[in-house]
Chains A and B, each alone.
Chain A
């Protein structure tokens, strides 16, 4: 019987994949297993079993202390090749995404990364991912005997859990010390925000030139009960916001009832994160900005005039 093997450096994501994997396994006549790697791996077994894993491969090998992509790829290769694993599903976190291509190459397999939907098709797993920067959605299958797919976090919901036991395999891995060392880790300021769940979302773009102007945006957010998100530059370059607030292809995918863009041109890598909004409002001083193509209600104007006026009006209601 073939096996679906799950791994993620984020346990929450791994458990989502275990839940989904269980359903795919039923359709495919396969079993679901998971790899638990690194410090404290063994202690996680109960959780993984309770969401439906049939079998767990566990290793706390010293070389798996800090995540290094090559070492984790070698570990997964050895686990895959020790059994009947046909599908390796990896959580598409940043570490998971870099891992997918590396382990696929070791397995002579094809890889699909950043899948955001998946289904069984003709005995294979078909995955959807964005293509042309988000202009289109490609449905793809891996055609090699072993198949690697990295799946975006939150693609699947966590299924029900019930106390359950299964087989634990303590794997004896042959691993070398990583050639890349983590010499320092600077934690980012925690920003607990869940933009995916926001009912109203205002996104700030590069058109908002000064950080002081965020005050008027925050006022608007307060009036609307909105969360504030942004495009890439305000997060990655200006560091006005944590990357938790970046919306788009490499950020969050949101589906609010109301989305308002402020000083955003509407490049596809951003709009892909908001196309599922119910109503889209755009404030941009350039009437030719592509954002207006994605817009229900647009105002052509300088946000520095429009936003205060809108705040005034909302306060008067």
Chain B
């Protein structure tokens, strides 16, 4: 069985600084999306539970992926497809889905495609839905429990008012929620071995796409501005022993007029 996991590298959000309301991304390290780590973890668990599973990670992004890809390979992926051609840079969600779809088709075989329910930076959920449409796959989103058996997936998904248990025949696409598992931390030896696993680097030509069909040339959404909201906080840390801190807190909140209904 062939399992494909789509993963995105994003800037470490905790390290983004804001200056004059603009996000400063220089020197912010890239990390894998939180839910994408849940996705690769789930694929690895399937591989441990079911015989003859091959896991392939597919990632579109900058050339930093070449280094970063060791992590998912060490977490259990067998192969990786790197879509780092500069022509892909600046892809929006629909553009990303188009390239991922071509790459997944080119791998030759896909029984189960796993994505995060949202990327950690955009959290748009658009890529998975568009990808399912392009590959014409049944889709189950927001999955918190997954079972793969006898050519079927059974999944419990987390909706507003209920948990829905859903079933589909393979091939299928699922998106996972954070509570589905606890992603493993790869061991040093596994990272060393990961360097030897096969990687494919495919550009637009390999995927039968023209350069003007991808990346910045194929945007369907335009971003007009992207600024941090104004923040103005007092940032007072209360001093003294606990009793003094509490007195000061209650005093301050009373003066602010937010205590007592």
Contacts and interface: CB of A to CB of B under 8 A. Distances in A.
A137 B227 contact: yes
B249 A297 contact: yes
Contact of B165 (A93, A131, A186, A225): A186
27 contacts: A70-B138, A111-B93, A111-B126, A111-B130, A112-B124, A135-B18, A136-B229, A140-B221, A143-B220, A143-B222, A180-B166, A180-B167, A180-B168, A185-B163, A186-B163, A236-B158, A278-B256, A279-B253, A290-B14, A292-B235, A295-B233, A295-B235, A298-B237, A301-B242, A310-B249, A313-B247, A317-B250
A101 B220 contact: no
Interface in A274-316: 275, 278-281, 287, 290, 292-301, 305-306, 309-310, 313-314
A184 B166 CA distance: 7
A105 interface: yes
Which 5 pairs between the two chains have the least Cβ-Cβ distance?
A110-B220, A101-B129, A101-B126, A105-B133, A184-B165
A296 B129 contact: no
What's the dominant secondary structure at chain A's contact region? mixed
B67 interface: no
A65 B236 CA distance: 55
A97 B159 CA distance: 12
A136 B229 CA distance: 7
B27 interface: no
Contacts of B141: 69, 94, 98
A133 B23 CA distance: 12
A181 B129 contact: no
B159 to A, nearest CB: 6
Interface string A61-96: 000000001100100000000000000000001110
B139 interface: yes
Interface stretch (B58-66, B104-112, B115-123, B194-202): B115-123
Contact of B258 (A236, A249, A257): A257
Contact of A69 (B129, B250, B256): B129
A297 B124 CA distance: 34
Of the listed residues A94, A143, A295, the one surrounded by the most CB atoms of chain B closer than 10 A to its CB is A94
Nearest to B22: A136
Contacts of A179: 138, 168-169
B259 interface: yes
B153 to A, nearest CB: 9
B197 to A, nearest CB: 30
Interface residues of A, number: 87
B164 A137 contact: no
A111 B258 contact: no
Contact of B93 (A101, A141, A294): A101
Contacts of B124: 101, 111-114, 129
Nearest to B168: A180
A144 interface: yes
Contacts of A296: 233-236, 252, 256
B129 A187 contact: no
Interface string B219-261: 1111111111101011111100011011101101100111101
A243 B160 contact: yes
Contacts of B235: 292-293, 295-296, 298
A293 B233 contact: yes
Contact of A299 (B97, B129, B233, B245): B245
A180 B261 contact: no
B253 A281 contact: yes
Given A98-B128, A297-B249, 4 more contacts: A139-B224, A141-B224, A279-B253, A296-B236
B247 A131 contact: no
Nearest to B234: A296
A133 B222 contact: no
A133 B120 contact: yes
A258 B259 contact: yes
A173 interface: no
A144 to B, nearest CB: 5
A182 B13 contact: no
A69 B13 contact: no
A133 B25 CA distance: 13
Contacts of B70: none
A271 to B, nearest CB: 10
Given A102-B130, A292-B235, A236 B167 contact: no
